[in-house]
Amino acid sequence: MNDRLPHEKGFHVSWDQLHRDARALAWRLQGRGPEDGNWRAVVAITRGGMAPAMIVSRELDIRTVDTISVKSYHSGGGKEDMRREAQVIKSPDAEMMGDGEGILIVDDLVDTGKTLELVRKLYPKAHFACVYAKPEGEKQTDTFITGVSQDTWIFFPWDMALQYVEPYRGRD
């Protein structure tokens, strides 16, 4: 949702950039799992974590991939005390997950950290990996690739389209 304004800056991520950054994440995670360096499974936090999780699981040759779906919503009365809450609406396989040991949980980004905070409570021993991280939520991740300032909104390739842009001299 783009309603957590103000976001003074925009960081526009192309497919190519996302692919490079998700590969960098895989590189960083390689050999760091608890069982001889291996991870048991990759779990994507849907929906944004799915593309990065696909790339990470491909690079690390992990065939067991599951998802957890977290829905965020606003609660509270007036605009001032609006709080962002998160709720799990689809869980991964409970037997496979256990307490999260050996599981790599992947998301595209961490912002306030609410999403990861919730998932971490459920799987405290899992490893939490994000491609992008803002300062407020950074402590919720174990590994991330690129830090982005809190007042920046990250635009992902699945939310964008190529479009015509007026030449500089054509604008008023």
Ligand X SMILES: Nc1nc2[nH]cnc2c(=O)[nH]1
Query: Residue 7 corresponds to which tokens in the numbers above?
Result: 């976001």
Alpha helices for the chain (secondary structure H): 15-29, 50-59, 94-97, 114-122
Selecting among 108, 142, 159, 172, the annotated active-site residue is: 108
Helix (H) or strand (E) holding 108: strand 103-110
Contact predicate 98/76, CB 8 Å: no
Tell me whether strands 41-46 and 9-12 are parallel, antiparallel or unpaired.
unpaired
- Grouping H, G, I as helix, E, B as strand and the rest as coil, residue 111 is coil
Least distance CB 19 / ligand PRP (angstroms):
17
> Is 93 assigned to a binding site?
no
Residue 8 vs residues 5, 136, 147, 156, 157: alpha-carbon distances, Å = 8, 16, 16, 17, 20
> Is 107 assigned to a binding site?
yes
21 assigned to active site: no
Contact between 48 and Mg ion per CB under 5 A: yes
Least distance CB 169 / Mg ion (angstroms):
40
Residues that bind ligand PRP (CB under 6 A): 1, 45-48, 72, 107-115, 137
β-strand partners of 38: 35
111 assigned to active site: yes
The tally of CA atoms less than 13 A away on the side-chain side of residue 59 is: 19
Q: Which does 113 bind (CB under 5 to 8 A by kind): ligand X, ligand PRP, Mg ion, none?
A: ligand PRP
Residue nearest to ligand PRP (CB): 48
Selecting among 93, 107, 151, 172, the annotated active-site residue is: 107
> Is 48 assigned to a binding site?
yes
**What character string, x for contact with ligand X (CB under 6 A) and - otherwise, covers 99-138?**
----------x-x---------------------------
Residues that bind ligand X (CB under 6 A): 109, 111, 153-154, 156
Q: Contact positions toward Mg ion, by CB under 5 A?
A: 48
Which residues are annotated binding-site positions?
A: 47-48, 84, 107-115, 153-154
Report the catalytic residues. 107-108, 111
